[in-house]
Amino acid sequence: MTSGRGLWITLEGGDGSGKTTQSALLGRWLEDSGRAVLRTREPGGSEVGQLIRDIVLHHRGDIAPRAEALLYAADRAHHVATVVRPALERGDIVLQDRYLDSSVAYQGAGRVLDAEEVRDLSLWAAEGALPDLTILLDLDPADARARLDSADKPFDRLEAEKGEFHGRVREAFLALAAGEPERFLVVDAAGSPEAIAAEIRARVETLLR
Ligand code: TYD
Per-residue pLDDT of 179-200, as tens digits, reads 999 999 999 999 999 999 999 9
100-114, 127-141, 161-175, range with greatest mean pLDDT: 127-141
- Provide the pLDDT for residue 201: 98
Query: Does residue 128 register a pLDDT over 70?
Result: yes
Whether 160 has a pLDDT exceeding 90, the answer reads no
Q: What is the mean pLDDT of the chain?
A: 94
CB-based contact 42:49 (threshold 8 Å): yes
Contacts of residue 32, defined as CB under 8 A and 6 or more positions apart, other chains included, come to none
> Torsion-angle region of residue 111: left (phi > 0), alpha (psi -120 to 50) or beta?
left
Is any atom of ligand 1 closer than 6 Å to the C-beta of 102? yes
Query: Band of the pLDDT at 4, cuts 50, 70, 90?
Result: low
DSSP E strand stretches across the chain: 7-13, 37-41, 93-97, 133-138, 184-188
166 within ligand 1 shell (Cβ under 6 A): no
Instruction: Read off the pLDDT of each residue in 89-98 and give the average, rounded to a whole number.
Output: 98
Taking alpha carbons only, the member of 120, 170, 115, 116 closest to residue 141 is 170
- In terms of pLDDT, which residue wins out, 159 or 125? 125
Rounded Cα distance, 68 and 205, in Å:
36
Q: If you measure from the C-alpha of residue 68 to the centroid of ligand 1, how many angstroms do you get, rounded to a whole number?
A: 12
For the sheet containing 7-13, what is the strand order? 37-41, 93-97, 7-13, 133-138, 184-188
Name the least confident of 23-32, 38-47, 82-91, 150-159. Answer: 150-159
Query: Quick one: what percent of the chain has pLDDT higher than 90?
Result: 83
CA 47 to ligand 1 centroid distance, Å: 17
What's the pLDDT at 1? Answer: 42
> From the CB of 96, is ligand 1 less than 6 Å away?
no
pLDDT of residue 150: 85
Asked whether the predicted pLDDT for residue 148 surpasses 90, the reply is no
Give the domains, in start order, of the chain with CATH numbers. 7-208 (3.40.50.300)
Q: What was the pLDDT predicted at 111? A: 76
Mean pLDDT, range 138-152, rounded to an integer: 88
Q: Using most ligand atoms within 8 A of CB, pick from 158, 168, 170 the residue to mutate for ligand 1.
A: 158
Q: Ligand 1 within 6 A of 156 CB?
A: yes
